[in-house]
Amino acid sequence: MQEIPPAVPAIIRWLNDSSIGTGIRESIWTFPLVEATHVLALGLSVGVLVWFDLRLMGLTMRHQPITHVHRQVMPYALVGFIIMFISGGLVFWSEAVKCYLSIFFRIKVLMLFLAGLNALIFEMTTKKTIVEWDKAPVPPLKARLAGVFSLILWIGVISAGRATAYNLF
């Protein structure tokens, strides 16, 4: 066990050493179950969202209205993201110091924020004119870019999440 550097904030140390954090980390079953839930929920969150991104890019389901694809995938993606945040929060709780010190975890948080921002911008601006291009096989550039950014950022979140697992301090 390495010594915790003094720069680590008290809240992070507290989370890491709390009975819940220690309990998850040291349990034979809890940690793998929470981490497995986190990984499996990828299929329901990003795995489902990808189809909407590809439709936005004009690459799949070109003859389906975009609102139709949106309506079908979003409930599943939403449930997936709720599970991702809860399970991710629990894994973070148990490894707060490691995550705080991990460059990959910081990259992941930044990319998560940017993915959220990209989705927010799409919902607040680009989607306002969707009636004009709902049935277009290839949507306008702004919509296509939202799909491309989303795809790139989620690949980044997943890669950085995977890399965190190997980033020991």
| Binding window for ligand HEM (CB under 6 A); candidates: 49-57, 127-135, 140-148, 161-169 | 161-169
Residues 93-132 that bind ligand HEM (CB under 6 A): 95, 99, 112
Q: Which of 162, 168, 156, 149 is nearest to 56 (CA)?
A: 149
Q: What would the x/- binding string for ligand HEM be over residues 39 to 68, using CB under 6 A? A: x--x--xx----------------------
Cα separation, 163 vs 168, whole angstroms: 10
Query: Residues near 73 by Cβ (< 8 Å), separated by ≥ 6?
Result: 48, 49, 51, 52
Side-chain-side CA neighbours of 113 within 13 Å: the count stands at 6
Task: Check binding of 88 to ligand HEM (CB under 6 A).
Answer: yes
- Tokens read off for 137: 């096989």
Task: Check binding of 16 to ligand HEM (CB under 6 A).
Answer: no
Task: Check binding of 38 to ligand HEM (CB under 6 A).
Answer: yes
Identity of the residue numbered 79: V
Q: What are the residues binding ligand HEM (CB under 6 A)?
A: 35, 38-39, 42, 45-46, 81, 84-85, 88-89, 91-92, 95, 99, 112, 157-158, 161-162, 164-165
